[in-house]
Amino acid sequence: MSTLITTPPFADTRTESVLRVSGLRKSFKQREVLRGIDWEVPCGRVIGLLGRNGAGKTTLLRCLLGLSPIDAGTVELFGELMTEPGGERMHRIGFVPQTFDLFPWMKVRAYLDFTAAFYARWNHALAERLLGDWQLDPKQKIGELSQGQRQKLAIVRAIAPEPDLLVLDEPVASLDPQARRAFMAELLELMKAPGKTVIFSTHITADLERADADITLLRDGAIQFTRPLAELREHLRRAVLVRDGGWSHAPVVAGLLKASLKGDEAQLLVEDANTESLQALATREGATLRIEMPTLEDLFVELA
Amino acid sequence: MRAVWQLWLQPCRQLLVGALLLQLVWLVAAILLGCVPAVGAGIAGVAATLLGFGTWFWFTMLGMCLRGLCRPESFLLPDFRRRLALMGGLQVAQWALLPMVAALMMGLPHALLGGACILLLASIGLAASSARYVNLLVWVLFVLAGWQPGLAGQIAKAMIASPWTAPLALLLATLITRLSLRSMLRIDDQEPGASPLENVQLGRSRARALDGTPVRRGKLAKRIGAIFDNTSQRAMEQALARYRAKPTWRLRMVLVRRLLLPHDNPQAIALRLVLVAAIVAFYVLAVMHRQHFNAVVVGAYAILLGLSRFPQLGRGMRQMRPNLADLYLTLAPPTRADYQQTLIDALVVLVPITALSTMAYTGLGIVLTHAAEPVRMLVTAAIVSVGTSLTALAVHLIGPEGNLGRGVVDLVVTLGGMAVYWGGYWLLGALGLPFGSTALLLVTLGFGLGVWTSARREYLRRPPSFDAPLA
């Protein structure tokens, strides 16, 4: 048994916004996937977009880039509405799709040369280095690459123009641990330059912890919150109340985000937990109290 | 038994209309066979012919379906091979054994031989999708029969009379079935996928199986595919070098074309023409022995060949949609309409390519059949192919999404194109070359341009779509 209490979306107004979404709605036939998304992404941050399978992460990212038509709402990228792609603005965006099945007859080198020919800014040295480091054979056809190698190629293609906004849709899902770490290192290197922003949809929460990302949670077709990871760590605690005979219903405490009952335990995810009042509750209910610091994965499991 | 039933249903699931028609053919043949005691033995010949053709087509279809099903993952299913064999046994019982037993019980002559021949046809049909060289043997037989029809007739009579023919046919059927099953049940590495927009007209095998997986190709097909791919790579490199040296709008468009239509570069087109010429020349010279051909049929067939590029383009554009997002980001168009315009500009090159190819095919037909009025045929082909290819491209830009709708549209456009050639050829004959061609030009091109202009306007109005097709 579990209860979920939603918190209002967290609006960050510290810096200039790269992306501003308002009232975004998107349906596929009768199924409404995005139900009025309001979201603002500040410049210079790594945003980790979390959500369960089918939550609409890919749809949201595609809508942001104008790759999927929206039913209602507005999307602003770099301060301009996305009603039209706007020419060179698209070259400030790097996109790694979930699957990359592009032009299988082309060789890796030909594909990168083709793409580079259209860009005013293309870091050839970086592309070359990544091809070498990630053991991608430029003479191999894309159709002959494994799914992981294609993912690597998509990342090289997205990073090489040194975009101001990098949108990554589960980019590391097919990568081996070495490649994942190497990718994260490149990402962090890219972020050292001023004004670079990354939106990163993933299920691998360890990567988001490494990048010290702001966490955005997408659930039920809406953004539940966007908060810096450090802030989540600082404010969220799991209070575990244990008593013989278990619990008929979850105890109510201030700042409760989610409660779940497992055997003798009542596990409460609490924001800004007041230890004294929790202790008092434990005494009143004849239970012992244990307070834990949840990992990001724990939080994802609890909240998503 | 449920698994065997599911396997039996595969042709109905994948090719419903064909499967129903062929089952109907079987039913009609069975009814005719049942009427033999009442009507007489004469009707048995009709039943046998129906069964023969039905078996051949049914097992060809079955082979196509099973070819896609027999992939490494399927062999992990419990008892997959045994159940496949059981289903095969049921098919053989339905198409060959049952009719043969019925014929034997009715005391019809050559019942055993008929059953054996039907089994042979079944094995040849099965081999059509896995051991294609068996089909070549059938062609060789046709060629030989065409060259020496008298001898072929005598051999056929002797074979019918000989008691060895039935066991020989059974032996051959077993051998061919073994060959095709060995190829079908072999676990191979999957072929790397081809671009959905690649030209797979005559001269290249189909790029994808019924279930959408890349087809397994033979050595020759792989070699031809490699030559086509090399031409694409070379054309792309040349286009890149030219664009880097002088980045003009025209060269940028050439670059996009090289990406979207990899096998529509000059070298690949020339190679395709050579392959088509070789196949058609073989067909006309060896199989048909330069019999008299109707010029209109030759021209209409050339139109059909030329237009066969467009259905595949329509399917390919739908399959490519999710991947074209990358091109969208790369091109960075100012507006969505600019992106759509870029695609139109890239694809419109197919109109002159189709017109020139159709003229080349017509020219080939003229030479091979010694056509009496080559100029009239060429002029008609040139005018009609421009009009019909404009129409075909237009309907594939904005045409229906569903397979059925597209199929109907393809059929209408292709048959329409052939009919217009027919009418055009007659018009040129009735009004003379100058007046007839002017009238044909006005009507055909007027219609083609009208459809094209409307479709273009509609396509530009629509937002680009990068969503994968639902089916």
Summary mean pLDDT of chain B:
86
Average pLDDT over residues B42-67: 90
pLDDT at B210 over 70: no
**Cα torsion through B398, B401, B403, B406, rounded to 10:** -20
DSSP conformational letter for A199? E
DSSP secondary structure string for all residues of chain A: -EEE---PPPPP-SS-EEEEEEEEEEEETTEEEEEEEEEEEETT-EEEEE--TTSSHHHHHHHHTTSS--SEEEEEETTEETTS--GGGGGGEEEE-S-----TTSBHHHHHHHHHHH-S---HHHHHHHHHHTT--TTSBGGGS-HHHHHHHHHHHHHTT--SEEEEESTTTT--HHHHHHHHHHHHHHHHSTT-EEEEE-S-HHHHHHTTPEEEEEETTEEEEEEEHHHHHHHEEEEEEE-TT--SSPPP-TTEEEEEEETTEEEEEEES--HHHHHHHHHHHT-EEEEE---HHHHHHHH-
Asked if A157 lies within 8 A of B233 by C-beta distance, the reply is: no
Angstrom distance (rounded) from CA A223 to CA A216: 7
Instruction: For tokens 């890919």, name the residue.
Output: A58
Condensed to tens digits (0 to 9), the pLDDT of residues A3-50 reads 444 444 444 444 589 999 999 999 988 889 999 999 999 999 999 999
Residue of A nearest to B255 (CA): A114
Q: Give the separation between CA A171 and CA B340, rounded to whole angstroms.
A: 28
Q: What is the pLDDT, as a whole number, of residue A161? A: 92
Whether the Cβ atoms of residue B288 and residue B368 lie closer than 8 Å to each other: no
Fold held by A235-303 = Alpha-Beta Plaits (3.30.70)
CB neighbourhood size of A192 (10 A): 7
B123 residue type, one letter: S
ipTM of the complex: 0.81
Give yes or no: residues B388 and B306 share one domain: yes
pLDDT band at B76 (very low <50, low <70, confident <90, very high): confident
By CB atoms closer than 10 A (0-12, 13-18, 19+), residue B82 is exposed
Q: From CA A184, how far away is CA A177, in angstroms rounded?
A: 10
Number of domains in chain B: 3
Look up tokens 């641990």; give the residue: A177
Answer whether residue B467 is part of any domain: no
Give this prediction's pTM: 0.78
Of A16, A159, A8, A163, whose CA–CA distance to A92 is shortest?
Answer: A163
* Sequential DSSP letters for B311-362: HHHHHHHHHHHHHHHHHHHHH--SSHHHHHHHHHHHHTTHHHHHHHHHHHHH
> Residue A6: its pLDDT value, please?
44
More confident residue, A87 or B284: A87
| pLDDT one-digit tens code per residue, A204-262 | 888 888 888 899 999 989 999 899 988 888 888 889 999 988 888 888 888 888 888 88
The Cα B215–Cα A202 span in angstroms is 34
Average pLDDT (B284-297) is: 70
Residues B259 and B309 in one domain: no
Question: What pLDDT was estimated at residue B339?
Answer: 95
**pLDDT band at B203; cut points 50, 70, 90:** very low
Asked if residue B284 is part of any domain, the answer here is no
Same domain, B122 and B10: yes
Residue A120: closest CA among chain B residues belongs to which residue? Answer: B330
Q: pLDDT at position A160, please?
A: 94
The pLDDT score that the predictor gives to residue A4 is 45
Residues B319 and B391 in one domain: yes
- Contact indicator for A241, A285 with CB cutoff of 8 Å: yes
Beta strands A17-28 and A2-4, pairing class: unpaired
Question: B339 and B427, same structural domain?
Answer: yes
Q: Of B184, B219, B253, which residue sits at a domain end?
A: B184
Band (pLDDT 50/70/90 cuts) for residue B215 is low
The CATH number corresponding to A7-232 among 3.40.50.300, 3.20.20.70, 3.60.10.10, 3.40.190.10 equals: 3.40.50.300
Residue B268 shares a structural domain with residue B178: no
- Shared-domain flag, residues B165 and B65: yes
CA distance A1 to B289: 82
Residue of A nearest to B243 (CA): A117
Beta strand pairing call for A236-242 and A265-271? antiparallel
Q: Hey, is B377 helix, strand or coil?
A: helix
Question: Is the same domain home to B269 and B296?
Answer: no
Q: What is the pLDDT of residues B111-162, one digit of tens each?
A: 999 999 999 999 999 988 777 777 777 777 777 777 778 888 898 889 888 8
State the average pLDDT over residues A75-100. 90
* Mean pLDDT (whole number) for A273-296: 88
SS3 of residue B110 by DSSP: coil
pLDDT for B288 beyond 70 = no
Q: Give the end of a domain, one of B224, B250, B275.
A: B275
pLDDT band at B202 (very low <50, low <70, confident <90, very high): very low
Contact A143, A104 (CB under 8 A): yes
* Domain co-membership, B350 together with B421: yes
Rg (CA), chain B: 26
How many residues are there in chain B? Answer: 471
CA distance B264 to chain A (A): 14
**How far is B208 from chain A, CA to nearest CA, in Å?**
13
Residue A3: what are its φ and ψ, rounded to 5°? -125, 140
Report the alpha-carbon distance of residue B177 to residue B225 in Å, rounded. Answer: 28
In this prediction, residue B2 carries a pLDDT of: 83
Closest residue in A to B225 (Cα) is A105
In whole angstroms, how large is the CA radius of gyration of chain A? 22
Helix extents (H) in B106-218:
111-127, 133-147, 149-161, 165-184
Average of pLDDT values for B199-206? Answer: 49
Say if residues A213 and A48 touch (Cβ distance below 8 Å).
yes
Q: Which residues of B touch A106 (CB under 8 A)?
A: 232-233, 236, 259, 262
A contacts of B331 (beta carbons < 8 Å)? 90, 118
- Write down the pLDDT at residue B216: 62
Please give the average per-residue pLDDT across A174-200, as a whole number.
85
Residue B133: count other Cβ atoms within 10 Å of its Cβ.
10
Q: Which residue of B244, B334, B463 is in closest CB contact with A117?
A: B244
Is-contact B360 B273, C-beta < 8 A?
yes
What token pair was written down for B389? 């290819």
Per-residue pLDDT at A179 exceeds 60: yes
Q: Which tokens is A260 given? A: 């779940």
B310: in domain: yes
pLDDT band, very low/low/confident/very high, at B287 (cuts 50, 70, 90): low
Chain centroid, CA B420 distance in Å: 22
Q: Are residues B222 and B111 in the same domain?
A: no
Under a CB-based contact definition with an 8 Å cutoff, are residues A231 and A224 in contact? no
- What residues of chain A lie within 8 A of the CB of B340, using their CB? none
**Across residues B86-94, what is the average pLDDT?**
93
Classify residue B136: in a domain, yes or no: yes
For B85, the domain range is 2-184
Residues of B in contact with A87 (CB under 8 A): 332-334
Q: CB–CB of A65 and B329 under 8 A?
A: yes
Q: Express each pLDDT in B25-43 by its tens digit.
A: 999 999 999 998 888 888 8
Contact A119 B335 (CB under 8 A): no
Backbone angles phi, psi at A19, to 5 degrees: -135, 135
Q: Tell me the mean pLDDT in the region B260-285.
A: 86
Name the DSSP letter for residue A94: E
pLDDT for position A5: 44
State the pLDDT at residue A8: 41
Residue B240 lies in a domain: yes
- pLDDT for B205 equals 44
CB environment A234-264: b (16+ within 10 A), e (fewer): eebbbbbbbeeeebeebbebebbbbbebeee
CB contacts, 8 Å: A107 with chain B = 233
Per domain, the residue ranges of chain A are 7-232, 235-303
| CA dist., res. B406 & res. B306, Å (int) | 18
Q: Please report whether residue B242 resides in a domain.
A: yes
Question: pLDDT of B399-419, one tens digit each?
Answer: 887 777 888 888 999 999 999
Whether B310 and B261 map to the same domain: the answer is no
Calculate what percentage of chain B has a pLDDT beyond 90: 48
Q: Which residues of A touch B247 (CB under 8 A)?
A: 117
Provide the pLDDT for residue A10: 40
Name the domain boundary from B121, B150, B184.
Answer: B184
Interface list for chain A against chain B, based on CB atoms closer than 8 Å: 62, 65-69, 84-91, 93, 95, 97, 99, 101-107, 110, 113-115, 117-119, 141, 143-144, 157
Supply B102's token pair: 């019925």
Asked if A106's CB is within 8 angstroms of B236's CB, the reply is yes
Contact B227, B205 (CB under 8 A): no
Helix axes B2-14, B16-34, angle to 10 degrees: 110
Q: How far apart are CA A192 and CA B300, in angstroms?
A: 65
Residues B175 and B208 in one domain: no
Q: Is B280 a domain residue?
A: no
